[in-house]
A and B are shown apart, each in its own frame.
Chain A
Amino acid sequence: MIRNVLSDIGGVGLYGVISICLFVTVFTGALVWTLLQRPSLMASLGHLPLADGERRRNPEGDSHHE
């Protein structure tokens, strides 16, 4: 019965194809772009959380300030 409902919408299978194509495109794009980046830039971006510019005494003695 469900298939009968959808037989009234032309080319419903297209939705699945479109979605997979879109995903593959976005995923490949992100992957290629990411791999092309300079390692030094990636490393510096990865360090952002460790440098928050806080200036204060740190009782725990770790490096949560610069």
Chain B
Amino acid sequence: MKTETFHYDNRIVRAFAIATVIWGLVGMAAGLLAAVQLFWPEANLQLQYVTFGRLRPLHTNAVIFAFVGNGMFMGVYYSLQRLLKARMYSDRLSWINFWGWNAIIVGAAITLPLGFTTSKEYAELEWPVDVAITLVWVVFTLNLIGTILKRRERHLYVAVWFYIATAVTVAVLHVVNSLEVPAGAFKSYPIYAGVQDALVQWWYGHNAVAFFLTTPFLGLMYYFLPKAAQRPVFSYRLSIIHFWALIFLYIWAGPHHLLYTALPDWAQSLGMVFSVMLVAPSWGGMLNGLLTLRGAWDKVRQDPVLKFMVAAVTAYGMATLEGPMLSIKSVNSLSHYTDWTIGHVHSGALGWNGFIIFSMLYWLFPRLWNTRLHSVRLANWHFWIGLLGIMFYAIPMYWAGVTQGLMWKQFTPDGFLQYPNFLETVTQIVPMYRLRAIGGSLYLLGTVIGAYNLWRTAKSGVFEPDVEARAVIQDAPRQAEHGHRWIESKPVLFTALTTVAILIGGAVEIVPMYLIRTNVPTIASVKPYTPLEVLGRDLYIREGCVGCHSQMVRPFRSETERYGDYSKSGEFVFDHPFLWGSKRTGPDLQRQGGKYPDAWHYNHMEDPRSTSPGSIMPPYPWLLTRKLDTNALPARIAALRKVGVPYPPGYELGEAQAALAAQARAVVANLALGSITNAPPDTEIIGLIAYLQRLGTDIKAAPSAAAPVAAAIATP
């Protein structure tokens, strides 16, 4: 039997590992600052760049794509080479992957604080960055497939399947959700509107969780857990079933983010059923991980790597039980828009992704630097402080979520809302926001301790860039292979089958929505936004208002009493992008138009507490002085026309500016009625007020919204 000597590339693993630690600290610090602002709005340092609306996407992007993303690449680049007994296909591609990905993150760290955002959650980055992400992801996928093709190990271990599923699905999700028409260097409008945009976004959003935060890490669990426990996975059979069931089910579950919204009922039910079914493969995977440690639980007491891993897998199990539960429509009616969702997300992010990454880091650093871990004691401290941090984070969020959800729905015996003032339901839970910040601080403190420990570990050893390895050369003709082994032996075919599995789910969900496009009853009175409102809406997007305010009144009495008529899908046909939101830190704004005078909005933006004492909304004084960018209008109107908003041809060339000026003068006149006489007509606040006053008013002009449909049906 001939053997061959080759070298594993540890340099690329080291680079991703260091980036993981650095971005982890940055992303968590941004999260902590955002958390503090929710009980102390002045913590925005009076800077628009780090005010909650812009800081939140920075935090989510930093922890998801920078911390977890680099952690994923670190684990994949280490395990893939060893599972396939081959160096990465191309060192050059590896480094393009590393520098490209991290340049994208730097791009995000610059553009998001500047307010360049699409507003679509976890897909906020604007189109030039979207293009860059696509290119880097293609490089990663090519490197992955190339390595698989030149492997020395005949079989593809189950972890590699998870990596393949990750690569192809993330590519599909990212491209489909990022189809947008540019309206400037860092501004674009999605080709989808309203209901369609919402469905595509949450098909993406949910599966970003599935295929970026879950499947690669399940692959990593199937590699690093057996490595750390020094025993094979409990059941390899179960891991195969886990894989196919999981990737097949996950892709359907997106609509559970849109329960009770204007999304068609069948899509909501489909999302709910598949979400509930997901608990089976998820728990199959969790049990497979935990049972791998059967007979080795004594090691968990001593080894911080296993400690973090076991806690991570347990957190995965809890989050994947809670997720399906939250997808049940009746539970969701209480939990949605509250902090319960935030608690759920963080038990997954901090517990599952965070801890599994720390586990890998503690396992990898001593091996990369050929040394021992600097301090097991410090690693244990990190573990317990981190665990305490998760508790202090999640429990107050559950408490806050349930409390606020119940308060929103509470009626008096006479049939009136018990808490008609939304603010009352916020001030009630502010103490929970303080506790949450303590939880976040603890978790960050643990990470700082971990970073120090890892740094000392690296310092005490000698890094080995190329590790020599030996494998048997498989030059003999392969025997005929059947079944799954035959598929495994053809990685390109395997990749194609995986793609088909995820595309079926995506297609069944999304294709009917394309049919709906022509079937959404156009409500005759719903018109495109005026030029001033377009710019105002773009400011609403820039400031990240959607992070705290929904625009979707659900068909519950508690909501129609509080906000007004429930939302109809026909109202959103010109909304590129949709701004339904997923969290109500402030009240819903769908029926905000005409509720207060223009001057109220002016004062409220300048100092929210002057109109709403006790409000935790940050002030937006810069809107009162910054000039409205009317020069951007032609490009934006043209782009909106391209995505389907029926502005007349040439409208942007003169008429639009005149209409904008006229409406701005009207807003200024309204402000004068409210004793605000010094408002210049060319400031941003004028555009924002115009947009806010338009919200949800079109339908009020048409008391019988169904009339056009009825007329259409009656007319042959």
Residues of A within 8 A of B (CB): 1-6, 8-9, 12-13, 15-16, 18-20, 22-23, 26-27, 30-31, 33-37, 41-43, 45-50, 52-57, 59-60, 62-64
On chain B, the residues within 8 Å of A42 by CB distance are: 235-237
**A30, B233: Cα distance in complex, Å:** 19
Q: A16-B270, A46-B232, A60-B372 are in contact. List 10 more A-B contacts (CB 8 A).
A: A2-B569, A9-B519, A15-B270, A26-B244, A30-B241, A34-B484, A49-B226, A56-B468, A59-B372, A60-B366
On chain B, the residues within 8 Å of A53 by CB distance are: 82, 85, 469-471
Are A62 and B469 interface neighbours, CB within 8 A?
Answer: no
**A1, B233: Cα distance in complex, Å:** 51
Are A30 and B244 interface neighbours, CB within 8 A?
Answer: yes
24 contacts between A and B (CB under 8 A): A1-B706, A2-B263, A3-B265, A4-B706, A6-B266, A6-B516, A9-B516, A15-B270, A35-B237, A36-B483, A43-B236, A45-B236, A49-B222, A49-B227, A52-B469, A53-B85, A53-B469, A53-B471, A54-B82, A54-B468, A55-B468, A62-B230, A64-B227, A64-B367
- The minimal Cβ–Cβ distance linking A38 to chain B, given in whole angstroms, is 11
Least CB separation from A45: chain B residue: B236
Residues of B within 8 A of A (CB): 8, 79, 82-83, 85, 153, 155, 157-159, 222-223, 226-227, 230-233, 235-237, 240-241, 244-245, 248-249, 252, 262-266, 269-270, 273-274, 277, 366-367, 370-372, 464, 467-471, 483-485, 501, 504-505, 508, 512, 515-516, 519-521, 568-569, 705-706, 709
Are A30 and B508 interface neighbours, CB within 8 A?
Answer: no
On chain B, the residues within 8 Å of A37 by CB distance are: 237, 483-484
A-B CB contacts (within 8 Å), total count: 146
**A6, B157: Cα distance in complex, Å:** 44
- The minimal Cβ–Cβ distance linking B461 to chain A, given in whole angstroms, is 8
- The minimal Cβ–Cβ distance linking B217 to chain A, given in whole angstroms, is 15
Give the dominant DSSP class at B's interface. helix
Are A54 and B706 interface neighbours, CB within 8 A?
Answer: no
On chain A, the residues within 8 Å of B223 by CB distance are: 49
On chain A, the residues within 8 Å of B244 by CB distance are: 26-27, 30
On chain B, the residues within 8 Å of A1 by CB distance are: 521, 568-569, 705-706
Are B241 and A45 interface neighbours, CB within 8 A?
Answer: no
**A52, B400: Cα distance in complex, Å:** 48
- The minimal Cβ–Cβ distance linking B204 to chain A, given in whole angstroms, is 19
**A19, B277: Cα distance in complex, Å:** 12
Are B470 and A9 interface neighbours, CB within 8 A?
Answer: no
Among the listed B158, B270, B515, which residue makes an inter-chain contact with A9, where contact means beta carbons less than 8 Å apart? B515
**A6, B464: Cα distance in complex, Å:** 62
On chain B, the residues within 8 Å of A64 by CB distance are: 227, 367
Are B83 and A48 interface neighbours, CB within 8 A?
Answer: yes
Are A34 and B153 interface neighbours, CB within 8 A?
Answer: no
On chain A, the residues within 8 Å of B568 by CB distance are: 1
On chain B, the residues within 8 Å of A23 by CB distance are: 248-249, 274, 277
